[in-house]
Each structure stands twice: as structure tokens, then as C-alpha cells.
Structure 1
Amino acid sequence: MEHVDDFDKQILKELEKDGRMAFSAIASTLGVSNTMVHQRVNRLTELGILTGIKPVLNEKRLGYDWGAFTGLTLEKDHDSNRIIEALKNIPEITECYYISGSYTLYIKIIARDHEHMRKVLYEQIDSIPGIAKTDSIMELGCAFKRNVTL
């Protein structure tokens, strides 16, 4: 890891427990100054290690009961940037990855129900020029999701 020491790791672990935790509470827990925590968080942000502190939404509780992982085969792989920009305009697509293997891109889609999922797949994704084929696997629930261990 680039320029990350034990204090940085401890600060990141505290923020992972609760991203809203006050810097003064982290400083107290770690036995360091509030200023040091503030400076370290700023540096970790500048280095791109800490990319933001965001809420983790429970999609199911918000009415999105259906999830799918979908592999996208493109007509021409060099169209991927244009296609990714089009995918960003579909709010139900929550993740998009470049992958190796049978597909060029792999996306995660959330939907309220099967009809909503069908509309996202057939009316929105399939209408993007350059997508040759989609292959979806329905998600039945997340066993766990976490950050990498520090």
C-alpha cells in the first residue's frame, strides 16, 4: 500500500464501522489528536485510498426485490466507453465492470419486480446500439459484502 501506516489503517477501520463518526471520537479511541485524524483523512482522500463516505442502502427495504448480474457481449469492444456512458443513464444499473472471458462488461441491475427487470433489460439495455447480447443470472440475496481487510 502506498504511504499507509498503522494509524491510517486504524482510522480507516474506525470509519468503516461508522462513516459518520466524528474525527474527535476517532482521535479519542486511537489516543491521537483530532488534527492528526483530520490531516490523515485528507491525505488518504488525496491519495485516492478513501474515495468517499456514503450510506449503504438496503435495496430490498426500498422495494427493489429483484437483482441480476448480466454479462454484456458487445459488437465491437472499442465501443465500450460509449456503451458505458449509456449504461450510466439507467439508474437501475448499480455496478459495471470490465471483465475478461466471454463478456466485455458485467453489470448489476436492481429492479422492483420481474416486470421492472424485463423492462430494464429489454427496453433500455437491449436498445443501446452496440450491445450484441446479454446473459443474466438472477440474484437471490447477498450472503455478504465487505471492503478488503486492512
Structure 2
Amino acid sequence: MALPMNEKLLDETGWLLLQELQQNARLSYSELGQRVGLSSPAVADRMRKMEEAGIITGYRTEINLGKLGLPMMAIIRLGSFAGQSCNSVAAQVGQIPEVLECYRVTGSDSVIAKVVAGSVEHLGKVVDQLSLYGLPTTSLVISKGRESRLITHEIVKCVE
């Protein structure tokens, strides 16, 4: 459910701004304004307010990991930590450079990590590091089934 303050920021124009930014965060205020029907200063003001409200938390660049020598991606699930809390394990796992994302989850696994590696040997070393925190189960990513989904007003309306 949206907070009352956010309802004003997330009117139809606010959602259009978010949609455009999710597709291309490098658009200028002028280009964004043309796309959503606002002036450049109005776009800048809206974006500043959404940042201050914590709705926009950052701007990102997509990187082709293969071009950087990291063609392998894996999802590694960790379960059964001997005497360690899930929060502690997730924090420690998140410090490993090859770990792109790390989640504390419910179910038979306690932590799930998305990792990258340059080779099978490199991945083996990462798995060995992770095994210090729990029993690892590794799944290699063969292909990405879907690009990241845009967060739209329709998705949020489903929970209202």
C-alpha cells in the first residue's frame, strides 16, 4: 500500500517518469519532460522529491559480464549453518567479490547468492569459499529467461 505522501508523487505522471527512468536512467530532464509532458525543472523537482521519499534509490548501468571476463553465472543456495545466524552468514557471503546479490530467504535454504566467475575453476573456488558458511547447492545459469521487469502501477495496484 502506498503511503499518503507517495500517492501525490506517484500519480499518472510520476509513474510515467519511473517507467521511462527504468528503461533508460540516462535520459536528460529535457527528454524526460518531453516524454511525460512536463518542463525540465518540473521533472528535476519530481525526481528530487522521489529520491527524498526513498522511491528512487539509485541509477544503474547494465554491464555485459562476459566482456569483462566473467562469462559464468550461478545461483548458489546455502543451508544449515552450524551455530551461525542467517543474518551473519548473509553479511559475510555478501562480502565475497564474486557475489553480485545475496538474499536471506525462508524454506529449506537460508541464503541464496547470485555469483559470477571467469571459469569452472574460478567458480569452484567461490563455491569452496561459500561452503565455509553452509552446505552449497549450485545451479549454473544457462540463459536469462527474462530481462528485469519494469515496476509499473499495475503491479502495485495488485496489492492495494
**Any unmatched runs of 5+ in structure 2?**
153-160
Alpha-carbon deviations, 1:96-141, whole Å to 9, x = none? 112221101111111011000001111x2223xxx23111111112
The number of aligned residues is 146
The within-5 A match list for 1:40-119 is 40-75=46-81, 79-119=85-125
Match of 1:35, SS? helix
**Any unmatched runs of 5+ in structure 1?**
none
TM-score, normalised on structure 1?
A: 0.87
Letter in 1 for 2:131: D
Moved segments of 4+, more than 4 Å? none
Letter in 2 for 1:125: L
The verdict on how the C-alpha distance between 1:77 and 1:97 changes in structure 2, with shifts beyond 3 A counting, is: farther
Alpha-carbon deviations, 1:61-103, whole Å to 9, x = none? 2221111111111325861222222122211100111222110
TM-score, normalised on structure 2?
A: 0.82
The two structures, once aligned, show a CA RMSD in angstroms of 1.8
